Structure 1
Amino acid sequence: MLNFRSKRELNQFITRKKKQYILKNESLSRINSINHIKYGSFLYFMRREKLLLRKSIIENLINTESGSLYSLRKWFDSSLYKLY
């Protein structure tokens, strides 16, 4: 049987995991809605072009740098047209 301390640690672990899950979903929905592209396709593009960008960097680009985001979007679109 779990004592009080173990229950508290278990609850902290569960709430921490829930918070991470919620933040992950929020960041993905922000990236998808602002870029108007699917995040999976964007990840494929980044892997193929060997770009190393974390979600936090992409979110900062979305929030602050509209010019670089526009260039990245054009690069993404041109690479998609090369595939088809």
Structure 2
Amino acid sequence: MAWLEADRFFTSNFNEDTYTKKGLEWVNTTESLKDVLDRPYPEMTQKWMNCTSAFSVWDFAPNSYNPIPLYLRVPE
């Protein structure tokens, strides 16, 4: 984490003087790789990516919601 704290583009220069307004908006609203892929290829993610993560198998049905954290689940 020390290298992040030492990076001026992530700390003191993380502002509208250094980045564009659109760039800051993208950084602050992006949550996953799926969001990154969705910008230039929205039709691809809508058609092929049923899952919530870009690292999952794309045409696989999404997992149902489970409120129990992964580390507390008992294997089936």
TM category, shorter: under 0.3
Higher RCO structure, 1 or 2 (CA under 8 Å, sep 6+): 1
TM-score (norm 1): 0.23
Please say which structure displays the higher CA radius of gyration.
1
TM-score (norm 2): 0.24
